[in-house]
């Protein structure tokens, strides 16, 4: 069953068509990859899917509903969550506090509840803290939970970014360049966590330039070039297509 459906999406900036009529379907509980040369439109496609920018045409359907006009926060509340290529951690907050910031709809955010329903506020904060602790252990970040997030390594910051997404109990996570600037050991750690998310029923969709690592991870690969989707399928088969080799690999076998 399709979880995310992108239908004839279009987005132009001035006279440049960044996304030019892309249609794509992502099923529930899978691991998907998206590749293409710089300027192919990959990050723009993720921005359209997550609502960060508005499409010029086409539609986005998520979990059976048209979400094309919903704001990013409303899409995230439905379970459509994304991360960014450059981590945006709160540098002076601890790793744990960074996750708690992402906890949805805490009753303590309402001033009147703080004074009139302190028990409810305390309970919600306890639940959020427990959830954050579980996520940190899942991501193997428990040992740095009280460390300032700004002092983490690049790979740890990518895991933290994923952790904040998981605080929203997503149905799908769109990951933009999770391996960029990350050493080989942490790439394997991140890949292992993504496989575990798939096993838990969470759909994972990854934009990535590290082709070997991505092909080891995903079961279906999509390729964009010049704003258009030019191929989709199993990674091994996709990489044998002449137009893909020409666009992404310079024609090399």
pLDDT of residue 74: 94
pLDDT at 116 over 50: no
pLDDT at 121 over 60: no
| Mean confidence (pLDDT) of the chain | 89
**Cα→Cα distances 144→80, 134, 139, 161, 163, Å:** 28, 13, 11, 14, 13
pLDDT of residue 251: 46
User: Residue ranges per domain, the chain?
Assistant: 2-89+152-248, 90-151
pLDDT of residue 56: 97
Could you tell me the pTM of the whole model? 0.88
Q: Is the dihedral of CA 153, 155, 159, 162 positive or negative?
A: positive
Looking at domain 2-89+152-248, its CATH superfamily turns out to be: P-loop containing nucleotide triphosphate hydrolases (3.40.50.300)
pLDDT (tens digit, 9 = 90+) per residue, 141-199?
A: 999 999 999 999 989 999 999 999 999 999 999 999 999 888 899 999 999 999 999 99
Q: CB within 8 A of 141, min separation 6: which ones?
A: 95, 156, 159, 160, 163
| Other Cβ atoms within 10 Å of 228 Cβ, number | 16
Nearest to 1 by CA among 57, 55, 61: 61
Cα angle 31, 88, 92; round to 5: 135
Contact 22, 60 (CB under 8 A): no
The token pair at 134 is: 């579980």
pLDDT of residue 174: 97
pLDDT at 92 over 60: yes
Res. 212 pLDDT band, cuts 50 70 90: very high
């Amino acid at each position: 069953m399709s979880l995310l459906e992108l239908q004839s999406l279009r987005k132009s900036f001035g006279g440049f068509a960044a996304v030019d009529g892309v249609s794509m379907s992502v099923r529930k509980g899978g691991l998907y990859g998206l590749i293409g040369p710089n300027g192919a439109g990959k990050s723009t496609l993720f921005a359209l899917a997550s609502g960060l920018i508005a499409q010029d045409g086409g539609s986005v359907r998520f979990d059976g509903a048209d979400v094309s006009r919903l704001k990013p926060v409303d899409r995230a509340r439905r379970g459509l969550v994304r991360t960014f290529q450059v981590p945006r951690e709160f540098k002076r907050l601890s790793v744990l506090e960074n996750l708690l910031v992402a906890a949805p709809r805490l009753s303590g955010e309402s001033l009147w509840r703080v004074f009139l329903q302190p028990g409810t506020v305390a309970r919600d904060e306890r639940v959020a803290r427990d959830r954050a602790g579980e996520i940190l252990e899942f991501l193997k970040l428990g040992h740095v939970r009280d460390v300032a997030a700004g002092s983490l390594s690049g790979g740890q910051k990518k895991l933290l970014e994923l952790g904040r997404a998981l605080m929203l109990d997503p149905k799908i996570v769109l990951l933009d360049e999770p391996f960029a600037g990350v050493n080989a050991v942490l790439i394997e750690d991140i890949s292992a966590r993504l496989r575990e998310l798939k096993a838990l029923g969470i759909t994972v969709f990854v934009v990535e330039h590290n082709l070997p690592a991505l092909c080891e991870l995903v079961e279906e690969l999509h390729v964009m070039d010049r704003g258009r989707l030019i191929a989709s399928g199993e990674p091994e088969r996709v990489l044998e297509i002449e137009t893909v080799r020409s666009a992404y690999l310079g024609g090399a076998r």
